[in-house]
Structure 1
């Protein structure tokens, strides 16, 4: 049974975004220059509307399962219409199965105030006002305000996984999940899928998974975009300096909203290798500009610019590129590099310990 808050989330989403032509369908303020992309976006949404009928036929009435096969993968890569997005994410990530196995578990984690960890509560509350301040759905003047749902999901996850608790970046991920699912419990189980299975150790205190994958990206750049790798070596720049936000926020506030959601469609269905495909495509597309940098600050500035422009706004063309431009990128290759990079990081940590 959905809570009153979940019902209000749906109502708020419909009312707020329709009432304000200055915001996009997800409640975010339209950035400067957005108008130049609206015609292309209208064409894209028309395509998704046509595809929605195919998705409805594929899913069938009341079907909550999503097969892992080439047909569904092709459908996902072409884009999931928003009305099916929550269902596809839940089913393909295993979150739906976990929800069904654990009825009432999410609400039990919220429990009574006496059961809550005061330090966890304080840490989460500190980030509430920093979470999407330009989104009408999260502003305190909204009624109801999605900050309450966001707080509940983060608090429940902190109790569910005390080894992780809460760290910055999780608020943005939970916020996106709430916008799409309009449901706290589903957002919680999608968080569990992301942080527990798809991206393990990204948000643990040591962030070993995150550090490892940033080093893996460096190795992939060395193999696939060697000129950029050379400039990073030349200026002695660590990958964490230029791509950490890409990974920890899963491209939120890095790429346009619709593009991020398309990336997440494939992330939930195919796993973490999608993050590498996106990063390699951004770097490869901007390599001519990056390699002209003459200093560390210049390199960092050019990395900030790689996510801007028409290339990333045309989400459909961009997604086609991530599956073409980097070439072959198997899970076996990534896993092998992860083993090597993890060992190197752990050895370096051991060496630096007093």
Structure 2
């Protein structure tokens, strides 16, 4: 399905998307997880289109950013000393690959940008919390009513879920499976929607 260095991925995905979806839901083999995440997210293409950029950024890194990183260490993976997302990615790929995957996610290489999770005011987190609250009310009305009576809102318990994309909230093996499905579903849902819009707007 992947080919050498991911060379067959796009062709196979276009040809047999349902097979890819089924296999990813079963779980990506651990030895291939890093590469497949890069292919799914579009970060592999970003890396290849921007040779040398990461090295330049590392050279010009400021001491201020280093201080921010050091200050964050105690609040993240204690045994790895990195941000939750970065720590998860760095377990499966190089620094440069992890950097471009973060860029792909935050800026939206093949899906809607996720940078709103971390912008001032956390706009995307607020949106997700509101959507989550409506889903609880719709699918678990008794629980939703109980939360309302006790004045418990999702921001009290679910913010960390969305800010860390569930990498903090679950056992590590489960977080990996969530990320397998999350990356594939969010990226391909966006591509499918974009494809439909192209068809709709095509005069022919």
Could you state the TM-score of these two structures normalised by the residue count of structure 2?
0.80
The one of 106, 124, 127 equivalent to 1:195 is 106
- 1:59 aligned partner: 2
Q: In 2, Cα distance between the equivalents of 1:199 and 1:219? A: 21
- 1:261 aligned partner: 176
Give the structure with higher Rg (CA): 1
Q: In 2, Cα distance between the equivalents of 1:123 and 1:253? A: 19
- Compared CA separation, residues 97 and 272, structure 1 to 2 (3 A): closer
> How many aligned positions are there?
181
Q: In 2, Cα distance between the equivalents of 1:264 and 1:76? A: 10
Describe the superposition over 1:43-95 as per-residue Cα deviations: whole angstroms up to 9, x where unpaired.
xxxxxxxxxxxxxxx22334343425111111111110011111110011110
Structure 1 segment 1-354 matched on structure 2, within 5 A: 58-64=1-7, 65-66=9-10, 67=13, 69-111=17-59, 115-133=60-78, 135=79, 138=80, 171-181=83-93, 183-197=94-108, 198-271=113-186
Please tell me whether the aligned partners of residues 6 and 39 of structure 2 are also in contact (alpha carbons under 8 angstroms). no
Q: In 2, Cα distance between the equivalents of 1:235 and 1:110? A: 49
Could you state the TM-score of these two structures normalised by the residue count of structure 1?
0.48
Describe the superposition over 1:258-306 as per-residue Cα deviations: whole angstroms up to 9, x where unpaired.
11001101111111899xxxxxxxxxxxxxxxxxxxxxxxxxxxxxxxx
Please tell me whether the aligned partners of residues 246 and 254 of structure 1 are also in contact (alpha carbons under 8 angstroms). yes
Unaligned runs of 5+ in 1: 1-57, 139-146, 151-170, 275-330, 332-354
Q: Secondary structure at the match of 2:121?
A: coil
Describe the superposition over 1:283-341 as per-residue Cα deviations: whole angstroms up to 9, x where unpaired.
xxxxxxxxxxxxxxxxxxxxxxxxxxxxxxxxxxxxxxxxxxxxxxxx8xxxxxxxxxx
- Compared CA separation, residues 216 and 204, structure 1 to 2 (3 A): same
- Compared CA separation, residues 246 and 272, structure 1 to 2 (3 A): farther
Q: How well do the aligned residues superpose, as a CA RMSD in angstroms? A: 2.2
- Compared CA separation, residues 106 and 217, structure 1 to 2 (3 A): same
Please tell me whether the aligned partners of residues 214 and 243 of structure 1 are also in contact (alpha carbons under 8 angstroms). yes
- Compared CA separation, residues 63 and 255, structure 1 to 2 (3 A): same
Q: In 2, Cα distance between the equivalents of 1:101 and 1:186? A: 13
Superposition deviation, residue 213 in structure 1: 0.5
Describe the superposition over 1:159-212 as per-residue Cα deviations: whole angstroms up to 9, x where unpaired.
xxxxxxxxxxxx11101100111x001100111122222523001122100111
Q: In 2, Cα distance between the equivalents of 1:60 and 1:103? A: 22
